[in-house]
C-alpha cells in the first residue's frame, strides 16, 4: 500500500515538474484536452440541465397520470396529424368522473378541467387574456398547486360552486402590485364577481407551456360553468393511478372503462385518447440521449488532438529521462513500476488539462444560467465523466511511451546520457 502511494505521488510530482519545466510546450499539448473536456462536459451540462428542467415540467402535469381527451398528444401537430378524425370525437364530460372511479379500481383520483382566456377586472384595472381554469375538487390531489399567500379553494366551496378564486403570481402583481395584498380582494370575470382566497407561488417561464399558473385564475368547476361555455373550453379528465401502480396497468383499465362508459361495441374504434405523462418523459429521454451522443462525438474529436499532444509530451519525457530510467532499473526497479509511473504521469497531465476545461465549463454555466430561463449546472455525474475521460485518455496517450521506458535495457539507458 505504501509502495503504491509512493508511486502515485512520484508520478504526480513528475507531471507537475514536466508542466513547470516546459510551460508553453505543455500548455499547447494540453490545450486539446482542455477544449475536448470543455466541449463534452459543456454540452452534457447544458443538455442535462435542459432535460432536468423539461422533466420537472412534465412532472408538473401529474405523477402517474393519464389525460383523457379526444385529442391524441403523442402524434404532435405536424402535417400528418389526423385532426379531422379527432375533432369528431365527443369531449370528456364531468358526469363521467364518478363512472370512471367506479369502473377503474387502479385509479386513485380523477379530476375534470375546463379553461378559456378572458379579461379580469379589479376596479379600473383590466388584465387581458388571463387563463381561467375550472377544476373539480380532486385536481390539487393530482397536480400540486403551491399556495404562497392565503389558501386553496375548500371542498365545501367546490361542492357549492362558490365564487372563490385562486390567482397566479403574475396576475396578482399586475392587479395589486404586491401579491400578498390580493387575498380578500374582489375581482370580476365575465361580469361575475368573486373573492380571491389565495395566490399561487411564482413558477416562472415554462418551456413546454405547462399549466402557466402564473397567468391564471383557478375556480371551482361549478362556478366556471357560469363564465364559460364548457363545450368550447377544451374539457379533459385527469386520472391518477394508485400508489406503486404502473401507468400501463392504469391505462389498460381506463381503456375498458371508457369503452363501457361510451357504450362502444367490440368492433368500434376508440372515440377517446389516453395520454400518459410517462410517455412524454420517456420520449424526451430518448431524444436527449441521441443529442448527448452527438455532443460527445464532437468533443471526442478535440480529445483525439489532445491525446496526441500528451503522447508527444510523454515521448519527449521518456527521451529526456532515459538515463534516470536506466539508473532506476539498475538498482532494482521492475519494469511494471516504470510502466505504472509513466502511465500515471500521463493521466495526471490529462487531469490537469481537464481541470482547466472544467473551469471553462463552470464559467459557461454562469453565462448560460443568466441567458436561459432555467439554471445550468455541472452535475456530479458530469464531474465523474470528466475525471474518467481524462484518466482514460491519459492511459491511451501514455501506453506506448511508458512501454518503451519499461522495456529499456538499464546499461544502454545509463550510457545514453
Instruction: Give pLDDT tens digits for 343-364.
Output: 888 888 888 888 999 999 999 9
pLDDT for position 77: 47
Strand partners, 220: 135
Residue 100 cell numbers, joined? 370512471
**What mean pLDDT do residues 46-66 have?**
80
Average pLDDT over all residues of the chain: 85
Q: Which of 396, 386, 382, 394 is nearest to 357 (CA)?
A: 386
Per-residue pLDDT band at 18 (split at 50, 70, 90):
low
Residue 179, pLDDT above cutoff 50: yes
Q: Which of 393, 243, 369, 223 is nearest to 304 (CA)?
A: 393
pLDDT for position 66: 92
pLDDT for position 133: 96
For the ranges 169-178, 300-309, 318-327, the one whose mean pLDDT is highest? 169-178
pLDDT for position 152: 96
| Residue percentage of the chain with pLDDT more than 70 | 90
**What mean pLDDT do residues 37-46 have?**
85
pLDDT for position 61: 75
Residue 235 cell numbers, joined? 374539457
The domain locations on the chain are 2-57+282-415, 90-271
pLDDT for position 57: 76
For residue 140, what is the enclosing H or E element?
helix 139-142
**What mean pLDDT do residues 205-214 have?**
77
Q: Which of 43, 31, 36 is nearest to 378 (CA)?
A: 43
| Residue percentage of the chain with pLDDT more than 90 | 38
pLDDT for position 214: 92
Amino acid at each position: 500500500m505504501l509502495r503504491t502511494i509512493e508511486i502515485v505521488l512520484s508520478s504526480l510530482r513528475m507531471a507537475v515538474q514536466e508542466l513547470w519545466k516546459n510551460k508553453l510546450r505543455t500548455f499547447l499539448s494540453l490545450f486539446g484536452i482542455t477544449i475536448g473536456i470543455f466541449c463534452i462536459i459543456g454540452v452534457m451540462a447544458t443538455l442535462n440541465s435542459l432535460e432536468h428542467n423539461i422533466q420537472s415540467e412534465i412532472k408538473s402535469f401529474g405523477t402517474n397520470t393519464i389525460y383523457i381527451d379526444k385529442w391524441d398528444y403523442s402524434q404532435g401537430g405536424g402535417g400528418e396529424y389526423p385532426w379531422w378524425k379527432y375533432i369528431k370525437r365527443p369531449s370528456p364530460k364531468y358526469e363521467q368522473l364518478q363512472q370512471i372511479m367506479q369502473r377503474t379500481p387502479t385509479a386513485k383520483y380523477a379530476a375534470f378541467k375546463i379553461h378559456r382566456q378572458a379579461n379580469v377586472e379589479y376596479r379600473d384595472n383590466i388584465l387581458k387574456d388571463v387563463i381561467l381554469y375550472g377544476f373539480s375538487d380532486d385536481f390539487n390531489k393530482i397536480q400540486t398547486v403551491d399556495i404562497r399567500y392565503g389558501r386553496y379553494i375548500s371542498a365545501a366551496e367546490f361542492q357549492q360552486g362558490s365564487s372563490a378564486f385562486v390567482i397566479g403570481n403574475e396576475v396578482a402583481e399586475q392587479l395589486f402590485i404586491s401579491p400578498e395584498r390580493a387575498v380578500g380582494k374582489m375581482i370580476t370575470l365575465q361580469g361575475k364577481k368573486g373573492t380571491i382566497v389565495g395566490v399561487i407561488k411564482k413558477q416562472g417561464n415554462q418551456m413546454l407551456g405547462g399549466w402557466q399558473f402564473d397567468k391564471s385564475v383557478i375556480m371551482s368547476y361549478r362556478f366556471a360553468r357560469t363564465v364559460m361555455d364548457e363545450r368550447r373550453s377544451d374539457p379533459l379528465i385527469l386520472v391518477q393511478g394508485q400508489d406503486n401502480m404502473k401507468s400501463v396497468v392504469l391505462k389498460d383499465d381506463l381503456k375498458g372503462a371508457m369503452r363501457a362508459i361510451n357504450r362502444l361495441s367490440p368492433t368500434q374504434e376508440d372515440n377517446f385518447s389516453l395520454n400518459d405523462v410517462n410517455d412524454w418523459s420517456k420520449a424526451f429521454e430518448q431524444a436527449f440521449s441521441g443529442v448527448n451522443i452527438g455532443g460527445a462525438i464532437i468533443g471526442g474529436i478535440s480529445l483525439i488532438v489532445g491525446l496526441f499532444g500528451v503522447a508527444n509530451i510523454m515521448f519527449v519525457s521518456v527521451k529526456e529521462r532515459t538515463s534516470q530510467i536506466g539508473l532506476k532499473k539498475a538498482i532494482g526497479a521492475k519494469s511494471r513500476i516504470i510502466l505504472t509511473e509513466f502511465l500515471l504521469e500521463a493521466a495526471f497531465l490529462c487531469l490537469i488539462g481537464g481541470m482547466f476545461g472544467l473551469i471553462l465549463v463552470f464559467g459557461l454555466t454562469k453565462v448560460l444560467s443568466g441567458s436561459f430561463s432555467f439554471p445550468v449546472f455541472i452535475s456530479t455525474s458530469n464531474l465523474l465523466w470528466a475525471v474518467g475521460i481524462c484518466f482514460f485518455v491519459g492511459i491511451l496517450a501514455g501506453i506506448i511511451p511508458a512501454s518503451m521506458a519499461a522495456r529499456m535495457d538499464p546499461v544502454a539507458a545509463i550510457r545514453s546520457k
